């Protein structure tokens, strides 16, 4: 797929695909090439372990300090209002480390996002290049990082400007409703005024959904070309992603049930045993409960590492699949 081929193809060409076919492209990838699953799970597990190790290294003493503050407050019978100043003093000491954490975590998270999104995109555009489960770290991922960052900034700026624009109107209308004693109407209006912003964000998502596939295919940073390539396709893309969202919701519910079971196995019995202790010795019960958090976090992380590949495929394969059709791909891809 060359630049010339892409450049010569009509921007508003309607690709030949079915909605369900595109929405299910990610799940078909996992079913027909199951070897990508262990690669993606391992990648997510390694990334999660790195993040947790960094967080516990930088803030482990803070977590222990918070546990001690809460336990000592309960043990002494002091008013809960005394917790605020103690916690604030402890958190102020972490400001320099928080800055360091952001400097490390932000690019690391951006790289993680680029690698997994590119893997899903590469699977659709170059299905035969399945080494390492389509996972790579290279120039393609560097370009993807720029695209992801740029799109994030665009969405943030648009969202902020839109929010500021409706803030004045919202304040006046909601204020009138509050003055009239209609609290329910005020809450409803507050939520109703957010709907245009959500519609705008969905519109931007659909218009820029080809940015990553186009960048990977052309091997150059291509953001606004997606705006042209999606001309005349918004309704079809929207239907495809509504189906994909429903599939992802079903997967999310299944994962939630499994997570509940795993967390119950990991700490459920201990929590049940602690219930009488909350009445007789609350300080000890709280200390023990907080002591279970690391194990529960690890269990949740394992569940997340297993479920994230499915969600990545469901959300990011459809755009790449449709883009491949748009660029003239005729052979079946998963």
Q: Could you read off the pLDDT of 242-290 as tens digits, one per residue?
A: 999 999 999 989 888 877 777 666 666 666 666 666 666 666 666 666 6
Asked if residue 31 lies in contact with residue 309, where contact means CB atoms within 8 angstroms, the answer is no
Least confident of 2-16, 55-69, 131-145, 203-217: 2-16
Tens of pLDDT, residue by residue over 150-195, are 999 999 998 888 777 766 666 666 665 555 555 555 566 666 777 8
Domain count for the chain, please give it. 1
The answer to whether position 150 is within a domain reads: no
The answer to whether position 173 is within a domain reads: no
The answer to whether position 304 is within a domain reads: yes
DSSP run (H or E) holding 126? none
Task: Tell me which residue range forms the domain holding 95.
Answer: 3-133+230-326
The answer to whether position 286 is within a domain reads: yes
The answer to whether position 296 is within a domain reads: yes
The answer to whether position 189 is within a domain reads: no
The answer to whether position 224 is within a domain reads: no
Nearest CA among 244, 210, 179 for reference residue 20 = 244
Confidence of residue 10 (pLDDT cuts 50, 70, 90): very low
Residue 34, φ and ψ in degrees, nearest 5: -65, -15
Tens of pLDDT, residue by residue over 218-242, are 999 999 999 999 988 899 999 999 9
The answer to whether position 177 is within a domain reads: no
Confidence of residue 55 (pLDDT cuts 50, 70, 90): confident
């Amino acid at each position: 797929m060359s630049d010339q081929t892409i450049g010569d193809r009509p921007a508003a060409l309607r690709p030949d695909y079915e909605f369900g076919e595109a929405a299910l492209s990610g799940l078909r990838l996992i079913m027909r090439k199951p070897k990508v699953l262990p690669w993606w799970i391992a990648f997510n597990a390694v990334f999660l372990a790195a993040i947790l190790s960094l967080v516990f290294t930088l803030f482990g003493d803070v977590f222990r300090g918070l546990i001690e503050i809460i336990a000592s407050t309960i043990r002494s019978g002091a008013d809960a209002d005394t917790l605020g100043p103690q916690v604030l003093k402890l958190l102020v000491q972490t400001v320099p480390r928080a800055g360091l954490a952001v400097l490390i975590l932000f690019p690391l998270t951006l790289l993680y996002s680029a690698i997994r999104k590119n893997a899903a995109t590469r699977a659709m555009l170059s299905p035969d290049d399945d080494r390492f489960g389509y996972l790579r770290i290279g120039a393609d991922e560097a370009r993807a990082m720029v695209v992801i960052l740029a799109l994030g900034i665009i969405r943030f700026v648009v969202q902020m400007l839109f929010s500021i624009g409706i803030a004045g109107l919202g304040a006046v209308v909601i204020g009138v409703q509050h003055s009239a004693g209609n609290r329910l109407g005020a809450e409803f209006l507050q939520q109703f005024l957010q709907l245009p912003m959500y519609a705008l964000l969905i519109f931007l998502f659909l218009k820029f959904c080809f940015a990553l596939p186009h960048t990977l295919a052309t091997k150059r940073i291509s953001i606004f070309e997606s705006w042209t390539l999606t001309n005349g396709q918004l309704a079809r893309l929207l239907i495809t992603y509504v189906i994909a969202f429903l599939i992802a919701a079903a997967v999310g519910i299944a994962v939630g049930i499994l997570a509940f079971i795993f967390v119950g196995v990991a700490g459920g019995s201990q929590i049940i045993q602690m219930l009488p202790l909350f009445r007789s010795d609350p300080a000890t019960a709280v200390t023990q409960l907080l002591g279970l958090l690391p194990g529960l976090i690890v269990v949740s992380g394992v569940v997340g590492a297993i479920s994230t590949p499915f969600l990545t495929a469901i959300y990011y394969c459809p755009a790449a699949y449709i883009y491949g059709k748009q660029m003239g791909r005729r052979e079946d891809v998963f």
